[in-house]
Structure 1
Amino acid sequence: MAVTVVVVSGPIGAGKTTLAQGLARRFGALHLHSRDFLRKHGGEDSRRSRQELTVTLDRTTGGRWLAEGVLTALHGQVMARNASWFVVDAASSAVQLDGLRASPGLRVVHVHLETPEPEQALRDAEPGTFEESWAHPAERAVHALASRADLVVDTARTPPDAVLVRVASRLGLYGRPGEWLVDLIVAGPHGEVDTRPLTAHLAPHYDVLIQLRGTGPAPSREELEDAFARGHRVLVESAGTTASGCLQAAAIAPGRVRRTVMVCRSEGSTFDWVRLREAASLNAPTDLALVLAGDLAATNWAARRFDQLTDAARHHLEELERVAGASVSFLAPSPQARHLVERRPW
């Protein structure tokens, strides 16, 4: 599988290192510095010496020195950390980019940052050498790279957090918005029903569990975005009786929801059908989880399969499904039952 390498280019003070650090901190990219590769070729720490050496190495290696440094670093880091993508700060010439793009096993994404000269001078970390460095041929060559980039961002008009969002979106790091990765568990018309047994039953099938009635912290927006980007499935147990309130509390968009399970309790003849219809209209459940109580529990407590239910219980379930517009997928044969009857694999 190809390793993704994000190559950042841009003039002095454009925000290249800030972007690379953001990708490393927020999305786990491994940050590679071109100045580290230059040191291996005898480069010094001054900007002028790095510029001079860059021109020399581009001429003698055809720009391959950067690709060779990246490939050597990638081999070590992939083997050591099982890393899957990297950000290179920074490329400064067309031949360096050509060398990277010609390297087997790399998926190169080139991001170019721009900013006007007055802004560069204000941001420069070595202000005493700006004019000399700005006029150097190596720095002049950087401006031509914008036409070769996959994404160009003007950092004078775009703050650092917005630059990071634009680049991350270009890389697909936020996942696909239309993916249905979230399932909800919501208490039905009787809000006092215990949803925890169903949550415990389903939780092993998910990568992320959010229990809104719990005391622990919920995942942050960034943690959820990371989960969605990886295609992780998320189970949310609501603290209330509405799916919309559950989603708002968990900060999850409705378009992420795959299934909504509404948990109901029924004693049979005393069941409140009006409240069930209202709850179903409000929550649009895809599935029901039913807890039998009273006479229904007394005659069905030993059931382990749906076909072991009494005729009265089966008829009651059928009517529940008609009123709610959803199938009973899970059944607790009594409030004290330690098992759930599952109609089909989840």
Structure 2
Amino acid sequence: MSKGERVLVISGPIGAGKSTLAQGLVERHGAHRVSSRELLLARMGERSGDRRTLQEAGAALDRETGGRWVADSVKEVLQRQEGPPRLLIVDSVRIASQAEALRRALGSRVVHVHLSAPEQELAARYEQRRSRAVSDSEGTSFEEARADATERGVETLAEFADLALNTHRHPPEAVLVQVACLLGLFGRDVERLVDVLVGGQYGSEGKGQIASYLAPEYDVLVRVGGPNAGHRVYEELGPYTFHQLPSGTRAAPRARVALGPGATLSLTSLQQEIADCRIEPGRLFIDPQALVIEPSDVAFEEESLRKQIASTAQGVGMATARKVLRTAAKPQVRLAKELEELRPFLSPTREVLEDTYAGGGKILVEGTQGAGLSLHHGDYPYVTSRDTTASGCLAEAGIAPGRVRKTLLVCRTYPIRVQNPDGGDGTSGPMSRELSWDEIAQRSGLPLEELLTQERTSTTKRQRRVSEFDWSLLRKAAALNAPTDVVLTFVDYLAASNRSARRFEQLTPEVHHLIEGIERVAQAPVSILSTGFGFQNILDRRAW
């Protein structure tokens, strides 16, 4: 359906954010808003009135018409509309019979959204709005307004809504994103043999474990990025963190592994992983154009970026900057082809990929970090030194977009960022609705000590910051990556009981509710879930 074929009906108590949502849709999507106040005044033949008077008049009309007066008024508005059809917002309905009458009159054109918030927050919002009011429409106190019988029962409408949101946990922009996606307001010969796995938040989404789980299905595993990203894999003998090689290197011993021309290499880390994984020439292919990090790059970042923006200070950014400077770089840039130690593994990634295409083999590209840290699309300067989107990963690997079959976007139930820097007055960057690990422990039932121990960065071992699920960031990541599938990790952080789930239906209702929202906003199915660490905690719902 087009925008004009939809009628959004909003319900919720005073102060829940109904008008904010409506105004956001007007400004962002060109919707047309009609308020029940306006409709009521028109019925009364009046131009103004205080809240109590309007509540009494509305209640009388409801009794007289069985709630049909709102639907009749909306139909009149629709008949008067001129020009191209527009989304019509009804702000708001207050009883079930009003909503039911609208559905009877307009059928499938109606979408009903209910907003709510804790009573204390509703009161604070109401008084704040009341203090700014320029008319007498907010003359009554919050307690008086809520004492109205219809107002007291408005929360029952959540049961009949297509979407119910708590605006205490969802800021206005997140509510707007979810509702816009519910309404469908966001607009999506070579053999497609490449799947891309990327982060949807600020990194540390659990991509390593997912990549390792998927790896046995592929012929070639490609890792992009550099050693500033650590991907932890939980194996039978304990966890192992990959900084340079693909995370499925040990899980899929028959797969070839490749580091593309856009990779940034720490010789020490790379050689250690080659030894740990017992990689022989003929299995690992390092592109000759891959960039080598120098000790001076690490020293520079240790002195500046670590204190300013909590950088991992692995030298990746400085090495990349020198690469951009080309012949003007000091010291001169060294590429992989110049290192004798890497000679047995050197081979143009393009050739390895073309051979795989010719044989019909499948390729997994493992991205690092997340969309919120993209150099171009993140909150600059609190970003990494590369583009972390699927497009950026493909460019680093040397893979054409037309080769892509699936794009998997990995997201945590609670996004994290690294802790703010020590010894400096900088920050690691903004987060929406930041929480404490104590609150996560209380919500989930997981031990606080376990969370604090687990939630340290793979590379620098710093404590992580955590926040509510960021719906605006998800929409941004979805727009940048166009995922075909979403992977939801850390599901046990919603409730510890989810760790014992072995089937989708065994997960808690909160998980099901979150998945519904993610699929609506990302416009892609949640195909894989992780309920803990280890392959036994992965629920695979893929249809491919």
TM-score by length of 2: 0.33
AA partner of residue 100 (structure 2): D
Contact kept, 8 Å, 1:11 with 1:114, in 2: the verdict is: yes
The CA distance in 2 between the partners of 1:31 and 1:101, in whole Å, is 18
Asked if 1:48 is matched to 2:52, the reply is yes
Partner of 1:273: none
1:152 to 1:127, Cα distance in 2 relative to 1, 3 A = farther
Indicate the larger mover: 62-71 or 41-50. Answer: 41-50
Give me the whole-angstrom Cα distance separating, in 1, the residues matched to 2:35 and 2:57: 15
CA contact (8 A) 2:30 2:86 kept: no
Structure 1 letter corresponding to 2:175 = V
Partner of 2:67: 63
- Is the Cα–Cα contact under 8 Å of residues 54 and 138 in structure 1 kept in the other structure? no
Supply the distance in 2 between the matched residues of 1:167 and 1:39 (Cα, whole angstroms): 28
Secondary structure at 2:115 match in 1? strand
Q: Does 1:134 align with 2:146?
A: yes
- Structure 2: distance between partners of 1:93 and 1:35: 14
1:157 and 2:161 equivalent? no
- Residue in structure 2 matching 1:38, options 34, 37, 40: 40
Give distance in 2, aligned partners of 1:97 and 1:170: 18
Aligned to 2:99, the other structure's residue is in SS state: helix
1:81 deviates by: 2.3
Q: Deviations over 1:265-317 (max 9, x none)?
A: xxxxxxxxxxxxxx9x8253869xxxxxxxxxxxxxxxxxxxxxxxxxxxxxx
What is the CA-CA distance between 1:254 and the residue it aligns to? 7.1
CA deviations on 1:227-260 (whole Å, 9 max, x unpaired) are xxxxxxxxxxxxxxxxxxxx9869999779xxx9
What secondary structure is seen at the aligned counterpart in 1 of 2:110? strand
The alpha-carbon distance between structure 1 residues 24 and 4, as it changes in their structure 2 partners (threshold 3 A), is same
- Deviations, residues 176-209 of structure 1 (Å, cap 9, x unaligned): 5xxxxxxxxxxxxxxxxxxxxxxxxxxxxxxxxx
Instruction: Please tell me whether the aligned partners of residues 155 and 163 of structure 1 are also in contact (alpha carbons under 8 angstroms).
Output: yes
Answer yes or no: is the 8 Å Cα contact 2:39–2:70 preserved in 1. yes
1:282 corresponds to: 398
Alignment of 1:212-227 (within 5 A): none
**Residue 187 of structure 2: which of 141, 150, 175 is its match?**
175
Correspondence for 2:22:
20
The answer as to whether partners of 1:30 and 1:83 remain within 8 angstroms in 2 is no
The within-5 A match list for 1:278-317 is 282=398, 284=400
Cα 1:29–1:51 change in 2 (3 A) is same
1:70/1:255 CA distance change after superposition, 3 Å: farther
Report the structure number with the largest CA radius of gyration: 1
Distance between the aligned counterparts of 1:70 and 1:285, measured in 2? 46
Contact kept in structure 2, 1:134 and 1:140, CA below 8 Å: yes
Alpha-carbon separation, structure 1, partners of 2:18 and 2:142: 16
Contact 1:24 1:30 in 2 (8 A): yes
> Runs of 5+ in structure 2 lacking a partner?
131-137, 189-373, 379-386, 404-544
Q: Percent identity?
A: 46
Once the 2 structures are TM-superposed, how far is the Cα of residue 95 of structure 1 from its aligned partner?
Answer: 0.8
Q: In the alignment, is residue 166 of structure 1 matched against residue 282 of structure 2?
A: no
Aligned residue in 1 for 2:85: 83
Tell me, in whole angstroms, the C-alpha distance in 1 between the residues paired with 2:6 and 2:43.
25
**Does the 8 Å CA contact 1:5/1:86 hold for their aligned counterparts?**
yes
Q: Letter of the aligned partner of 2:176 in structure 1?
A: L
AA at the equivalent of 2:69 = W
Whether contact under 8 Å (2:51, 2:140) holds in the other structure is: no
For 2:41, what is the secondary structure of its paired residue?
helix
Q: Which residue of 2 aligns with 1:303?
A: none
Measure, in 1, the Cα distance between the counterparts of 2:83 and 2:400. Answer: 45
State the SS of the aligned residue for 2:7.
strand
**1:116 aligned residue:** 118
1:221-300 residue pairs with structure 2 within 5 A? 282=398, 284=400
Structure 1 unaligned blocks of 5 or more: 177-246, 261-278, 288-346
Q: How far apart, CA to CA, are the structure 2 residues paired with 1:250 and 1:157?
A: 25
Kindly state the Cα deviation for residue 132 of structure 1 after the two structures are TM-superposed: 1.2
Deviation of 1:104 (Å): 3.8
TM-score of the superposed pair, with normalisation by structure 1: 0.51
